[in-house]
Amino acid sequence: MNDSAVPSAPALHVRVLLAEDDFEMRSWIEHLLALEGFEIESCRFGIELLDRLSESIGSGGNRAYDIVIADLDIHDRAAATLCRCLGRLEGIPPILAICAFGEAPWPAGQRPAGGRVVLVKPVDPLELLVSVRSLVVRRAS
């Protein structure tokens, strides 16, 4: 692995909210990010993701997440519905979306602020780490 291609995460505590309904995929992402020193909080369902984000935003930053990683093919919410809900939330962190078809269905005018990246399944571990670090670095600057 070429370390120069992977931007360094800032020397601060980074909290990740991961929404992935597939146990193996969720465990793999948790393990990969934990090895890099990230604190990961996971959920299985889109509604749980939205609840945790709303709670985090409403707490005045005490439980804020630095980045959200969301499987947009999560079972309890259609991808378009989840994207629409995320697009309506104010103050959400950058989103790294994982989907099977290459483009997140963000409704016009409802793309989340703060940055977003879309990765297509199967997800490459290096691409995931580069994307996460880039979003964290961009948010911190």
pLDDT digits (tens, 9 = 90+) for 91-121: 778 888 888 766 555 555 555 555 578 888 8
- Cβ proximity of 98 and 125 under 8 Å: no
What is the C-alpha to C-alpha distance for residues 114 and 108, in angstroms, rounded to an integer?
Answer: 16
pLDDT digits (tens, 9 = 90+) for 63-99: 688 999 988 777 656 556 777 777 777 777 888 888 8
pLDDT of residue 121: 85
- CATH architecture for segment(s) 13-140: 3-Layer(aba) Sandwich (3.40)
pLDDT of residue 130: 94
| Local confidence band at 59 (pLDDT 50, 70, 90 cut-offs) | low
Average pLDDT over residues 26-54: 92
What is the C-alpha to C-alpha distance for residues 29 and 69, in angstroms, rounded to an integer?
Answer: 9
Q: Which residue has the higher pLDDT, 92 or 124?
A: 124
- DSSP tag of 18: E
Please state the three-class secondary structure of 106-134 as a single string. CCCCCCCCCCEEEEECCCCHHHHHHHHHH
The interaxial angle of helices 79-88 and 46-58, nearest 10 deg, is: 10
Average pLDDT over residues 48-70: 81
Mean pLDDT, the chain, integer: 78
pTM above 0.85, yes or no: no
Q: Which residue has the higher pLDDT, 3 or 82?
A: 82
Report the DSSP beta bridge partners of residue 40. Answer: 16
Q: Which residue has the higher pLDDT, 103 or 23?
A: 23
Contacts of residue 8, Cβ cutoff 8 Å, sequence gap at least 6: 133, 137
Helix (H, G, I), strand (E, B) or coil at 64: coil
